[in-house]
Structure 1
Amino acid sequence: MGCYPVFWRKKNSRSQVVQLDQDIPIAGNVKIYSSKELRKATGNFCPGSKLGQGSFGRVYLGKLNNGEKVAIKVLSSESRQGTKEFLNELSVISNITHHNLVKLHGCCIDGGQKMLVYNYVENNSLAQTLFGNSRSGIRFDWRTRVEICVGVADGLTYLHEEVRPPIVHRDIKASNILLDRNLRPKIADFGLAKFFPGNMTHISTRVAGTLGYLAPEYAIRGQLTKKADVYSFGVLLLEIVSGRCHTDPTLPLDEQFLLEKVKNSPNISLGFIQYCKLFGYGHEYQV
């Protein structure tokens, strides 16, 4: 996956780019952890410290020597795609900071093991807390849901309009929205993100993301724009409002797919269409 060269450093600066393990470029402003340090922080990655697992690896809760809690994302050593995700996520997230994005503390490349260290977000993902898979007991009243929606929108606005070059996340979904102790959302997992040159109308690329959240023109033609994130965010809005996942195979067939259910609910359907039109979508988005 192509990445823009986002690490520029002055001569003789201690933040000069270094090369570690398989010529992977690491910016000096990213703290480098040893595998020994991170093993100690997680109790040798004991099952009890595991926070979750994705397609490219596992995430553990760790406690550093200074007492700070962190989330340690361990990329699969057997997956080449995991290496690509590691490089991409490191290049995208290391030089940007926003209160609605996860914060990267550093990384580890040691003995073939690749890890990313993030700030610990106390209430896990929106998918786990909102969809009933968590025992946290968190109640999502309407005010909280609105604030989560606004926070995710603020994070996307920062990525699309304030970062240069802009960044398209490509995998906005409930499991990639983390919630801190005050239920403020943090967009996470930038392994599929793409830099988007401002002078281009779209990028033709292989389709990547999660079924159910993919924008139609991107899924069909592989044409990526910022609107792909906006469409995914629209699906996320429906999930937050309804309190259910976009797909639920445990329900009767005619209720399993949230967008199909919306289609049969005129008021919700009209609202979603208006949302799509607001951001410049055409008829292909009318569910």
Structure 2
Amino acid sequence: MLHWLHLLQEEDQYQESKSPRSDSFHQFNESVRQIQELLDPFRTNENDSPSIGVPFFEFERISASTDGFSKANKLGEGGFGPVYKGTLPGGVQVAVKRLSINSGQGLEEFKNEVTLIAKLQHRNLVRLLGYCMKGNEKMLLYEYMPNKSLDAFIFDETQSSLLDWPKRFEIIMGICRGLIYLHQDSRLRIIHRDLKTSNILLDEDLNPKISDFGLAKIVNGKEVESNTKRIIGTYGYMAPEYALEGLFSVKSDVYSFGVVVLQIISGKKKHYQSDQGISLLNYAWQLWKEGRPLDLMEQVLLASYEPNELLKCIVIGLLCVQEDPDDRPNMSNVVTMLTSDISTFPEPKKPSFIARRYNTCYDHTSSSSYQPQTQTNVEVTISTIEGR
């Protein structure tokens, strides 16, 4: 906290050193006006007033921190636009998300991220540190995650060995705590809608932080679910009721969490294909029915895994990806199960296996992930090929 107070003091000193001072003040006021216009439709009720809650940074300052948005400082690309590494005075490193001028999708994400994440504070959520608006330029500054994203570790043969079982179990617990905060402990009830390994960033100690709130939705009051005609997300992580009917709830996030857990255990991607040509969920289910669930474990974990913990996580993963949302546990129940005797667990039911009928899936790429990505903006066509 003191570190960031010092940073803000430096920012104030920088503003004072500029001449004329009125130009800087005018730019700040204009930025506030623009962002309030953007946020106005996002008021949760008529008594709300749009607020920012994070510091304003001048465009010139951000540009200098990224060396003019150089290729050397580019961390990745997402639906929002490019992400750059920036270094502020004093050596403070930040991740700068720069809205692509041609991205209508990115503008909606910008509104969502400023509205939501500025109001959220949790150790397992990435922190928004500031923003910038100048003309067509719109940028968000986040804490920099030196270890990039979870997928960079578990899907890489070299990096995966750096995550032993105790650390993977800690990561599962951390993601779980972050989701509990979003679903019930924050002042807003939030459904993330795009939880995946590339949206889970890792700090210097490999602690997980959920990122990318561009698709997140606020659920008001006691409302438990909502629906949409525009189905967007990432194939393989979308719950069947969302992919097929546009229905989403906290149980949609639970489904995505289950997929992530099985990936953390297996080191396999959602599109994993074995010699028999089956998906990760199908593979995990077959192993469970054959009485050898521990075979799902990535071999690099042999020297460090704890059998009871691993089995609990496999069962939890399968419970979270059950077809019926009512059969899935909520995240509070998941935390309880992680510290309970496995004999108290319900028996998992067969997951819903989902396949693309055509090669046209809207695969919303992460706007926070530090991995180079290719964005595909097409609509999803999904059909259930096996039921429970």
User: For the superposition of Structure 1 and Structure 2, which TM-score range results when normalised by the shorter chain?
Assistant: 0.7 to 0.9
By how many angstroms is 1:40 displaced? Answer: 0.3
Determine if the alignment matches structure 1 residue 150 to structure 2 residue 173: yes
Letter in 1 for 2:221: G
Instruction: Report the counterpart of residue 253 of structure 2 in structure 1.
Output: 229
- Amino acid in structure 2 at the alignment position of 1:182: D
- Out of 257, 279, 286, the residue aligned to residue 329 of structure 2 is 279
Q: Equivalent residue of 1:156, what SS?
A: helix
Code of the residue aligned with 2:149 in structure 1: it is S
Cα distance between partner residues in 1 of 2:98 and 2:276: 37
Q: Which amino acid aligns with 2:37?
A: D
Q: Tell me if the contact between 1:216 and 1:285 (Cα under 8 Å) persists in the aligned partners.
A: no
Instruction: Specify which of 128, 135, 148 is matched with residue 111 of structure 1.
Output: 135
Count of residue pairs the alignment pairs up:
270
- Residues of 1 paired with 2:118 and 2:36: CA distance? 20
Partner of 1:20: 34
Change (3 A) 1:174 1:28: closer
Instruction: Name the counterpart of 1:29.
Output: 53
What corresponds to 1:259 in structure 2? 281
- For 2:277, what is the secondary structure of its paired residue? helix
Corresponding residue number in structure 1 for 2:79: 55
Q: Tell me, which stretches of 5 or more residues in structure 1 are unaligned?
A: 1-14
From the superposition, tell whether residues 36 and 136 of structure 1 become closer, same or farther in structure 2 (CA, over 3 Å): farther
1:108-137, Cα deviation, whole Å (9 max, x unpaired)? 11120111100011100001122118x768
* Matching residue of 1:213: 237
1:71 to 59, 76, 95: 95
Within a 5 Å distance, the mapping from 1:58-137 to structure 2 comes to 58-132=82-156
Aligned partners of 2:56 and 2:132 also within 8 Å: yes
Identity %: 39
Contact kept? 1:106, 1:116, Cα under 8 Å: yes
Q: Which of the pair has more CA radius of gyration?
A: 2
Identify the residue that residue 12 of structure 1 maps to in structure 2. Answer: none
Q: TM-score, normalised by structure 1?
A: 0.85
Amino acid at match of 1:262: A
1:62 aligned counterpart, secondary structure: strand
TM-score by length of 2: 0.64
2-side partners of 1:128 and 1:140: how far apart? 11
Of residues 185, 196, 215 in structure 2, which corresponds to 1:162? 185
Amino acid at match of 1:166: R
Deviation, 1:223, is 1.2
Relative distance call for 1:55 and 1:29 in structure 2 (3 A) is closer
Does the CA contact (< 8 Å) of 1:18 and 1:27 recur in 2? no
C-alpha distance in 2 between matches for 1:82 and 1:65: 28
Cα deviation 1:92-117 (Å, max 9, x = unaligned): 10011000000000111112011110
* Residues 163-218 of structure 1: CA deviation (Å, up to 9, x unaligned): 23300000000000000011100000000000011322311113221110001111
The answer (yes or no) to whether the contact 2:132–2:138 under 8 Å persists in 1 is: yes
8 Å CA contact 2:281–2:351 kept in 1: the answer is no
Judging changes above 3 Å, is the alpha-carbon distance between structure 1 residues 106 and 138 closer, same or farther for their aligned structure 2 residues?
farther
Give the whole-Å Cα distance in 2 for the aligned partners of 1:253 and 1:109: 52
Q: How far 1:54 sits from its partner (Å)?
A: 1.1
User: In structure 1, the residue corresponding to 2:60 is in which secondary structure?
Assistant: helix
1:203 aligns with 2:226: yes
Give distance in 1, aligned partners of 2:192 and 2:160.
30
Q: Which has the higher strand share?
A: 1
